[in-house]
C-alpha cells in the first residue's frame, strides 16, 4: 500500500497526522501488507492499494481527518482488488451440485 | 528418545563457506565468511555506515550519485554481485510482508526466504541460489501429492495419475500458487535488487537439477521419429510427471515462436519455471527449518486444496471394448447397452438416453444425439465410475503414520491395475 503526502499543503494535514499517529499501529497490526510512505510535493495526498490480482485502487484523501483516512485504509485492506459487483446469489461454488441437474428423460414425467 | 534437532541440520543453508564451491570463487570472495543466523537488527540506526561513497569506485556504472542519490544505502560492491547479500534480507519490507502473508513460523529466518527467491539463472553459486532448497521442496510436494492421489483414487490409470500429478504439482500449477502468494519479480537480477523480489534471468536457463529421471538412450529418435514410449518405461526412466527428461525445447526453438501478449514463449517459460522453482524452494525451506509436519500442512493448504476435476483428464479410445474387457476380468456379466428413453427420433435434435447394464446392475448412463454416441458416452461414464472409485474423502496416507501417537496402520485399498496397459 502506497501512502503519498505533501509536507507543505493544507490538504495533507490529516494525512501527515495519520502517518505520524495511526499508521505505525496499523502497520504493526498488519504485517502481511507492505507499506511505503513517500512524499509527493504540491499534490493532494493519495493512498494506492496494489493487489495480488494485478489491479490497484487509489483513493484521494485530501482534507480528511486521520480517522477518516483510517477508514479508507481499512477499506483498501478489506478489498480483494476486483471490481465491485453486486452479489445477488449468497453462495457461489465450483463444486458440482449434489442433486444433479434435472433431466426431462428420467422419472415418471408429467401427463399433459 | 531425544527429539531430532532439525534446526541444527540446516545450518549449512545459511552459512556460506568460502572456497567450498569451485564456481565463481571471485564472487564468493566478496561474500561474508558466515552470515549471522539471527542478526540483531537496529532499525532507524543513526550510526554512520562504515563505508563512504568514495570507497565504491570499481563498480561505478556512470550514474551521477549527487544528482540521483540512491534510494537505499547499499553495501559496497553490491552491484557487482549476482544476488543481494543475505544480511540485506532483514531490511526488506517485501520479504517481511511475504513471510507474514504465508504465516510462516519464526523459525524460518528471512535470509532463507530471501535465498528461496534467487533462481539458479540469476546466481550460479549453489550456496546462494535456491536450487538445493527447490530440489528438497520438489521431492516433498511430489511425494505428498502422489501418496494422496494413490490413496484417494486407488484405481487411477498411470497416464491419468501422471497428468493429475502435473495438474497439482507441475510447474504451471506451482507458478499460479507462487503468483497467488503475491511474489513480485525483479526486471533483472543483481546485487542491488530488493531481496524480496524474485530474481531470475531471461537471458539463460539456470543449470540447476530440479527433477529426477534418466536421459534415455534413444532420446534423439523420440523427437525425430516420434518413437512410441510406453507407460512402463516412463515409470522407470522419466520424471515425476511421466515426461522425458531431455524433452525440453531449446531456447532458440522457443524464441522463434511468435510473440504473445506478454513476451515470447521463451521468456514466459523461463518466468514460469522460476516462479515454480521459488514455490518449491519455499516448501524446502519450511522443511529445513520447521520440519515434516509443518511442511505437510503447508502442502495440504496450498497445493492439495486446489480444485481439480479428475474426470476431465480421461480420454478413452475404445470405451466399449475396454468396458467389456473390464467385465470379463472382474467376472461380471458382459455389458449390454439398452435404450432407456428417447425423444424426437425423426426430428433435427433427437435425444437418446442409453444405459449400460451388466446383468441387472446399471454401470453407466448417458444421453446423446445418436444411438452410437449415447452408447459410447455411457460406456465412458461406466469406465470413469470404475476408475474414479474412492474409499472416502479423508483417507489416511502413509505419511500420517510418521506423527507421534498415530493409530495403527490399516492397509489401504490397492487395485490390481488398469484394464488396458498402454
Closest Cβ–Cβ partner in A35, A52, A106 for B180: A52
CA angle A67, A70, A76 (to 5 degrees): 155
Sign of CA dihedral B329, B330, B331, B337: negative
What whole-number distance in Å separates Cα of residue B34 and Cα of residue B31?
8
A11 vs B42, more confident:
A11
Instruction: List CB contacts (< 8 A) between B94 and chain A.
Output: 34
What are phi and psi for residue A109, nearest 5 degrees? 75, 175
Searching chain B, which residue's CA lies closest to the CA of residue A96? B309
Closest partner CB to B96 (pick from A31, A94, A103): A31
Three-state SS string over B212-242 comes to CCCCCCCHHHHHHCCCCCCHHHHHHHCCCCC
> CA of A38: how far to CAs of A15, A41, A46, B3, in Å?
12, 10, 10, 49
Q: Which of B12-16, B352-356, B360-364 has the lowest mean pLDDT?
A: B12-16
List beta partners, residue B342.
B352
When pLDDT is averaged across residues A67-94 and rounded to a whole number, the result is: 92
Burial of A45 (0-12, 13-18, 19+ CB in 10 A): buried
A99 pLDDT tier (thresholds 50, 70, 90): confident
* CB-CB under 8 Å, A103 with B340: no
Contacts with A52 from chain B: Cβ below 8 Å: 179-182
Give dist(CA A18, CA B109) in Å, integer: 32
Instruction: Give A5 to chain B, closest Cα distance, Å.
Output: 18
Residues 6+ apart with CB under 8 A from B310: B153, B156, B160, B164, B388
Assess whether pLDDT exceeds 90 at residue B413: no
State whether residue A27 sits within 8 Å of chain B by CB: no
% chain A with pLDDT above 70: 100
Name the region of A109 (left: φ>0; alpha: ψ -120 to 50; beta: rest).
left
d(CA A58, CA A41): 17
**CA-wise closest residue to B128 among B286, B7, B281:** B281
Residue B397: how many other CB atoms lie within 10 Å: 17
Q: How many CB atoms lie within 10 A of CB B103?
A: 10
pLDDT of B309 strictly over 50 = yes
Domains of chain B by range and CATH?
A: 6-17+72-310 (1.10.1520.10), 314-389 (3.30.160.20)
Q: In the prediction, which pLDDT does B18 show?
A: 44
Higher pLDDT residue, B284 or A9?
B284
| A-B C-beta contacts closer than 8 Å | 30
State ipTM. 0.90
Superfamily of domain A2-78: Glutaredoxin (3.40.30.10)
Q: What is the pLDDT of residue A106?
A: 82
pLDDT of residue B158: 92
User: B97 and A32: CB-CB below 8 Å?
Assistant: yes
Task: Assess contact for B217 and B236: CB atoms under 8 A.
Answer: no
List the strands of the sheet with A56-60, edge to edge.
A36-39, A2-5, A46-50, A56-60
Query: How much of chain B, in percent, has pLDDT values that exceed 90?
Result: 52
Contact B23, B125 (CB under 8 A): yes
- Which of A77-81, B132-136, B415-419 has the lowest average pLDDT? B415-419
Classify residue B185 by its DSSP letter.
B
Distance of CA B345 to the CA centre of its chain: 50
The pLDDT assigned to B22 comes to 39
Contacting residues for B354 by C-beta, under 8 A, at least 6 apart = B337, B338, B339, B340, B365, B366, B367, B368, B371, B374, B375, B377, B378
Q: Is A80 touching B (CB cutoff 8 A)?
A: no
* Range of weakest confidence among A31-35, B48-52, B201-205, B406-410: B48-52
- Which chain B residues touch A if contact means CB-CB below 8 Å? 93-94, 96-97, 99-101, 179-182, 307, 340-341, 343, 351, 353, 367
- Is the Cβ pair B351, A32 closer than 8 Å? no
Amino acid at each position: 500500500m502506497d501512502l503519498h503526502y505533501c509536507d507543505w499543503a493544507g490538504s495533507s494535514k490529516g494525512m501527515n497526522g495519520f502517518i505520524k499517529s495511526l499508521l505505525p499501529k496499523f502497520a504493526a497490526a498488519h504485517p502481511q501488507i507492505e507499506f511505503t510512505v513517500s512524499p509527493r510535493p504540491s499534490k493532494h495526498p493519495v493512498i494506492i492499494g496494489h493487489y495480488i490480482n494485478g489491479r490497484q485502487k487509489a483513493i484521494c484523501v485530501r482534507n480528511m481527518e486521520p480517522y477518516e483516512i483510517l477508514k479508507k485504509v481499512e477499506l483498501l485492506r478489506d478489498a480483494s482488488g476486483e471490481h465491485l459487483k453486486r452479489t445477488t446469489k449468497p453462495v457461489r461454488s465450483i463444486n458440482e451440485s449434489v442433486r444433479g441437474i434435472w433431466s426431462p428423460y428420467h422419472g415418471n414425467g408429467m401427463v399433459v | 528418545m531425544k527429539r531430532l534437532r532439525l534446526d541444527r541440520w540446516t545450518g549449512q543453508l545459511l552459512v556460506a563457506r568460502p572456497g567450498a564451491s569451485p564456481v565463481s570463487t571471485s564472487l564468493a570472495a566478496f561474500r561474508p565468511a558466515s552470515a549471522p543466523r539471527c542478526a540483531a537488527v537496529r532499525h532507524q540506526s543513526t550510526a554512520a555506515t562504515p563505508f563512504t561513497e568514495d570507497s565504491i569506485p570499481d563498480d561505478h556504472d556512470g550514474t551521477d550519485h549527487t544528482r540521483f542519490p540512491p534510494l537505499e544505502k547499499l553495501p559496497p560492491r553490491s552491484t557487482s554481485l549476482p544476488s543481494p547479500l543475505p544480511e540485506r534480507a532483514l531490511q526488506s519490507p517485501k520479504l517481511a510482508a511475504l513471510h507474514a502473508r504465508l504465516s510462516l513460523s519464526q523459525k524460518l529466518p528471512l535470509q532463507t526466504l530471501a535465498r528461496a527467491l534467487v533462481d539458479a539463472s540469476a546466481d550460479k553459486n549453489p550456496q546462494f541460489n535456491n536450487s538445493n532448497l527447490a530440489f528438497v521442496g520438489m521431492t516433498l510436494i511430489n511425494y505428498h501429492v502422489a501418496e494422496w492421489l494413490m490413496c484417494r483414487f486407488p484405481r487411477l490409470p498411470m497416464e491419468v495419475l501422471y497428468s493429475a500429478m502435473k495438474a497439482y504439482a507441475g510447474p504451471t500449477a506451482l507458478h499460479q500458487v507462487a503468483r497467488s502468494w503475491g511474489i513480485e519479480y525483479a526486471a533483472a537480477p543483481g546485487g542491488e535488487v530488493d531481496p524480496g523480489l524474485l530474481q531470475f534471468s531471461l537471458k539463460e536457463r539456470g543449470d540447476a537439477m530440479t527433477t529426477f529421471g534418466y536421459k534415455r538412450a534413444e532420446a534423439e529418435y523420440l523427437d525425430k521419429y516420434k518413437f512410441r514410449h510406453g507407460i512402463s518405461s516412463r515409470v522407470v526412466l522419466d520424471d515425476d510427471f511421466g515426461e522425458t527428461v531431455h524433452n525440453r525445447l531449446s531456447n532458440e526453438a522457443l524464441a522463434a515462436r511468435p510473440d504473445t501478449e506478454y513476451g515470447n514463449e521463451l521468456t514466459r517459460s523461463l518466468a514460469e519455471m522460476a516462479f515454480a522453482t521459488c514455490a518449491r524452494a519455499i516448501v524446502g525451506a519450511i522443511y529445513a527449518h520447521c520440519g515434516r509436519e509443518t511442511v505437510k500442512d503447508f502442502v495440504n493448504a496450498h497445493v492439495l486444496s486446489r480444485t481439480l476435476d479428475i474426470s476431465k483428464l480421461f480420454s478413452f479410445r475404445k470405451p466399449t471394448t475396454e468396458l467389456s474387457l473390464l467385465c470379463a476380468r472382474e467376472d461380471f456379466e458382459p455389458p449390454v447397452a439398452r435404450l432407456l428413453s428417447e425423444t424426437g427420433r425423426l426430428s433435427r435434435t433427437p435425444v437418446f438416453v442409453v444405459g449400460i447394464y451388466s446383468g441387472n446392475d446399471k454401470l453407466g448412463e448417458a444421453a446423446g444425439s445418436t444411438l452410437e454416441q449415447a452408447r459410447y458416452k455411457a460406456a465412458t461414464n461406466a469406465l470413469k465410475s470404475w476408475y474414479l472409485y474412492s474409499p472416502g474423502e479423508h483417507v489416511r496416507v502413509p505419511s500420517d503414520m510418521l506423527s507421534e501417537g498415530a493409530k495403527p496402520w490399516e492397509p489401504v485399498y490397492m487395485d490390481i491395475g488398469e484394464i488396458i496397459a498402454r
